[in-house]
Structure 1
């Protein structure tokens, strides 16, 4: 009997040397020697002879690891890359497919891999932020813009009680421009500071640590900017 097992891990994860050592040991317990290959940010592909060679990789700048594939026998694989979904941004960060002799072994392997990933997953808030796509941002800001413009259109009338065309055009234009600017800024922040997968190896460690120190500052800047924006909007209204 052959059982084809599949696993999809849904939380954002940080992949470091401990992760690769643990997954290497786990796979060797059930399968043949794992083979590691990576796609870099610049589009190049790199194959590693061993896990020790992988964790010593420089991983810097445009030669940093973007996605990873681990093969451990014919048809057996682990893909560490975001599997995209239209609504939620991504539906998984790690996918595994394998063949074993029975259901018990399949469930055992999936449980161990899932437990291993749990040890390296990001916080719930981080995962939620990494799933916040440009579509979500646009919907949110469209709603806020509509409410803001509705308030302007209701309160700004001509002497005869009707709204002037210039008021309508100005309100809608300002709302759309502000929405596009904020959408672009938030989308960039999410992409830079809340990636679904972080390869915490080599020179990239310094970059990740630097970004983690500025996340809280960015968060508070957004909160303050929102408060100031609300105050200014109320003043002009």
Structure 2
């Protein structure tokens, strides 16, 4: 009997040395010769002789790690990657396949690995924002453009001034360009502020710590900005 199992994790994740060490320890009980390789942002692929060599990698700039594979030949592979990435967002951050002859062992492997992975998930709001689809931006902005067109049409009707077909085409074209531009800009901000997969070693440690500081500043900035309009009323009420 040969059991072919699958491991999948959907939430935003921080992959660090401790997580990989713990997963390596779990898998080493069932598989030999566990290997690692990474694909960098510039497209290069690196094979590592050991886990220690992997976590000592600089992980910086254009040579920053894009995805990581943990595997044993013909037995298992676990990919830390944005699987199913599309305009709708991603479907998972971890996707693995394994083969083993004992059914009980397959249950143990899956449960222990998922239990370990969950310890290193990012805060819930990181998963929430990182999964916001570009489609949502498109729908929202399309609604705004349609609303603007209706208002413009109503104004022209009230002044008995008919819009020509070319004017409608121009408005639609400009609106579409704005929708695409703003959606792309919003998606870039989302990816920068809430990356769903962090390989937390090398220069990425410093960068991620800076990112957390930026998110904190933005959070308090939004809170303060939302409170400012009611401050005069509060002062007037208490005085």
* Fold in common (TM above 0.5): yes
TM-superposed deviation, 1:122: 1.8
TM-superposed deviation, 1:110: 0.7
Partners of 1:60 and 1:122 in 2: how far apart?
A: 21
CA contact (8 A) 2:88 2:135 kept: no
- The CA deviation string for residues 142-189 of structure 1, in whole angstroms up to 9 with x for no partner, is 1222223323322443533x5433875665455334323321210111
Aligned to 1:98: 98
Please tell me whether residue 38 in structure 1 is matched to residue 43 in structure 2: no
TM-superposed deviation, 1:223: 9.3
Partners of 1:172 and 1:224 in 2: how far apart?
A: 37
Partners of 1:144 and 1:133 in 2: how far apart?
A: 18
Aligned to 1:20: 20
Partners of 2:175 and 2:224 in 1: how far apart?
A: 20
Aligned to 2:234: none
Please tell me whether residue 140 in structure 1 is matched to residue 153 in structure 2: no
Partners of 1:199 and 1:169 in 2: how far apart?
A: 47
- The CA deviation string for residues 179-229 of structure 1, in whole angstroms up to 9 with x for no partner, is 23321210111222222211111011111222222234456778999xxxx
Query: Please, which moves more after superposition, 2-11 or 212-221?
Result: 212-221
Partners of 1:124 and 1:140 in 2: how far apart?
A: 24
Change (3 A) 1:33 1:147: same
Runs of 5+ unmatched residues, structure 1: 226-237
CA contact (8 A) 1:3 1:102 kept: yes
Partners of 1:121 and 1:178 in 2: how far apart?
A: 35
Aligned to 1:235: none
Runs of 5+ unmatched residues, structure 2: 226-239
Normalised to the residue count of structure 2, the TM-score between the two structures is 0.82
Root-mean-square deviation (CA), in Å? 2.8
Q: Per the alignment, in what secondary structure is the counterpart of residue 181 of structure 2?
A: helix
Partners of 1:15 and 1:117 in 2: how far apart?
A: 9
CA contact (8 A) 2:81 2:94 kept: yes
Partners of 1:224 and 1:170 in 2: how far apart?
A: 39
Aligned to 1:47: 47
CA contact (8 A) 1:158 1:164 kept: no
Please tell me whether residue 77 in structure 1 is matched to residue 88 in structure 2: no
TM-superposed deviation, 1:22: 1.1
1:89-128 correspondence to structure 2 within 5 Å = 89-128=89-128
CA contact (8 A) 1:78 1:97 kept: yes
Aligned to 1:185: 185
TM-superposed deviation, 1:70: 0.9
CA contact (8 A) 1:149 1:175 kept: no
Normalised to the residue count of structure 1, the TM-score between the two structures is 0.83
